Amino acid sequence: MYRLFFHLIFKRMDPEQAHHLAFRWIRLAASVPVLRTFVAAFLAPRHKALRTEALGLRMHGPFGLAAGFDKNAAAVDGMAMLGFDHVEIGTVTGRAQPGNPKKRLFRLVPDRALINRMGFNNEGSEAVAARLAARRAVFRTVVGVNIGKTKVVPEAEAASDYVLSTERLAPYADYLVVNVSSPNTPGLRNLQATESLRPLLTAVREAADRTVTDRRVPLLVKIAPDLADEDVDAVADLALELGLDGIIATNTTVAREGLGLRSAPELVKETGGLSGAPLKARSLEVLRRLYARVGDRLVLIGVGGIENAEDAWQRILAGATLIQGYSAFIYEGPCYARAIHRGLAERLAASPYATLAEAVGADTRKAGL
Ligand SMILES: Cc1cc2nc3c(=O)[nH]c(=O)nc-3n(C[C@H](O)[C@H](O)[C@H](O)COP(=O)(O)O)c2cc1C
């Protein structure tokens, strides 16, 4: 049904306009009490076996919405209504900014992929903090806050921009993510080098502790799939050294070669980050590598090309405690999270593992990695 709708309506629209339209519908549905209860009962049924505890937080399940869909925290309840067990808002930058000129979002339909060069279009940390402060939660869901650098702030002053966002947003964050991996802010990914990352993460940790004194806000870093394997290891070691809580793997890729892309060459060569199905293999590989390095000392969040329950299950077996999706939501529609939950519950029941927690990393451990 959604597929037909996608091909008849959304596919003919500009992708960013389609996003805004869908976003408005989600917000509208979530604002009508009877409707949202009805939708949530259908799309977000709870599976006891999937209950997850991670980062000191309790969740209905392991599957959440990846950053970038709800940049300004305007539809947290709407996304929870659609069955996402956590919602990562952002990326939010210190100051408001418009992002890159349009057109900046492209659908690669034959590849079930997207290319985006949005460039962190968002209302800025002050406005987003005010929205989160005013939020009266309808659905209990975990809210992650993903922060990044304002474009006009020079790379050398990046830490102060992340600190500003931290001071404003940490009070409303169930967990905080330092995003140093989006390809659309010049120089941002250089911050993944440990010499830059160490002082940045230290400054954000200190700012979070200074700002929120009645609990410890979990802190994670989100990395790119384009890092060399040794750099993935270096980030993992640094995360352990600094006492971070987790790593999100991965953001979008700037790679195009070797991914078997079938879309028109003029689309494939659009500048920006590629997400969706073609990212699956590399994201899984990075996740496995991380788990082999850190085991259960960090919470790993697997994201990149998760289209269905089998993909989600493979990430859990590889080492992810939590998983996220974005691009496949565009292609699969409102039943995306529901299908993942149902399939995960079936797979867990048919597996030798009594709980999801037991399954986390089982394949990577078995392989002796
Ligand atoms: C249009 C779009 C915008 C995105 N914006 C952000 C962002 O602001 N911050 C971020 O950390 N990741 C962002 N991402 C990356 C996603 O969070 C995710 O890491 C990536 O798309 C891989 O997952 P997927 O294959 O399920 O889409 C964005 C992705 C897309 C498609």
177, 90 contact by CB (below 8 A): yes
Task: Return the pLDDT at 279.
Answer: 98
List, for residues 134-152, the tens digit of each pLDDT value. 999 999 999 999 999 999 9
In this structure, is the dihedral angle defined by the CA atoms of residues 357, 358, 363 and 369, taken in order, positive or negative? positive
pLDDT confidence band for 193 (50 / 70 / 90): confident
> 73-82, 151-160, 191-200, 219-228 — which is least confidently predicted?
191-200
Task: Return the pLDDT at 9.
Answer: 75
Q: What is the mean pLDDT of the chain?
A: 95
Task: Return the pLDDT at 135.
Answer: 95
Which tops the pLDDT comparison, 369 or 121? 121
166 assigned binding-site residue:
no
Task: Return the pLDDT at 45.
Answer: 87
Indicate the angle between helix axes 336-350 and 33-43, nearest 10 degrees: 40
List, for residues 261-283, the tens digit of each pLDDT value. 999 999 999 999 999 999 999 99
Task: Return the pLDDT at 133.
Answer: 98
Mean pLDDT of the region 171-188: 93
Would the pTM count as exceeding 0.95?
yes
Task: For residues 225 and 229, give the distance between their C-alpha atoms in angstroms, rounded to a whole number.
Answer: 9
Q: What is the number of the ligand 1 atom nearest to the C-alpha of 146?
A: 11
Mean pLDDT of the region 6-11: 73
List, for residues 288-343, the tens digit of each pLDDT value. 999 999 999 999 999 999 999 999 999 999 999 999 999 999 999 999 999 999 99
Domains and CATH numbers, the chain: 2-366 (3.20.20.70)
The secondary structure of 66-131 as a DSSP string is: PTTSSTTSS-HHHHHHTT-SEEEEEEEESS-B--SPSP-EEEEGGGTEEEE-----B-HHHHHHHH
Task: Return the pLDDT at 369.
Answer: 67
Task: Return the pLDDT at 8.
Answer: 73
- Whether 283 sits among the annotated catalytic residues: the reply is no
Q: How many of the other CB atoms lie within 10 Å of CB of 355?
A: 12
- Report how far ligand 1's centroid is from the alpha carbon of 167 (Å): 24
Does the pLDDT at position 226 exceed 90?
Answer: yes
Task: Return the pLDDT at 228.
Answer: 94
Among residues 182, 263, 275, 283, the one annotated as catalytic is 182
Task: For residues 23 and 367, give the distance between their C-alpha atoms in angstroms, rounded to a whole number.
Answer: 42
CB under 8 Å to 306, separation ≥6 — which residues? 280, 312, 315, 323, 324, 325, 328, 340
List, for residues 229-251, the tens digit of each pLDDT value. 999 999 999 999 999 999 999 99
280 assigned binding-site residue:
no
Task: Return the pLDDT at 7.
Answer: 72
List, for residues 21-53, the tens digit of each pLDDT value. 999 999 999 999 999 999 999 999 899 999 999
Nearest CA to ligand 1 atom 13: 68
pLDDT confidence band for 215 (50 / 70 / 90): very high
118 assigned binding-site residue:
yes
- Report how far ligand 1's centroid is from the alpha carbon of 19 (Å): 13
CA distances from 88 to 117, 249, 288, 306, 348 (A): 19, 14, 22, 16, 25
* Closest-CA residue to 117 (of 291, 313, 250, 267): 267
Q: How many helices (H) and strands (E) does the chain have?
A: 15, 13
